[in-house]
């Protein structure tokens, strides 16, 4: 895909930079990797309250599952 030079300059893209393409109702959206990461973080934050660690939640769930499946020792 060839991106016109004025668009590349506006986005700060250099040859070899990775971009993300997203298809939505309005057409095709081109984002830099940094823009896509910022957008994903904003989306996740809209569902996860401030101060909540998804890593801690996952670890707690896994520990609880492991405790339920471990054989009882006599």
| Three-class secondary structure assignment of the chain | CCCCHHHHHHHCCCCCCCEEEEEECCEEEEEEHHHHHHHHHHHHHHHCCCCCCHHHHHHHHHHHHHHHHCCCCC
Is position 74 within any domain? no
Compute the average pLDDT of residues 25-36: 92
Question: Residue 59 domain-assigned?
Answer: yes
Q: Residue 27 sits in which domain range?
A: 5-69
Whether 17 is in a domain gets the answer yes
Is the residue at 61 inside a domain?
A: yes
- Give domain status of residue 51, yes or no: yes
Q: How many domains does the chain have?
A: 1
What's the predicted TM-score (pTM) here? 0.61
74 confidence band (pLDDT: 50, 70, 90)? low
């Amino acid at each position: 895909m060839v991106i016109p030079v004025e668009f590349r300059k506006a986005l700060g893209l250099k040859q070899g930079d990775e971009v993300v393409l997203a298809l939505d109702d309005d057409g095709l959206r081109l984002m830099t990797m940094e823009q896509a990461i910022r957008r994903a973080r904003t989306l996740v934050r809209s569902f996860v309250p401030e101060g909540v660690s998804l890593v801690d939640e996952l670890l707690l769930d896994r520990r609880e599952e492991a405790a339920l499946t471990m054989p009882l020792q006599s």
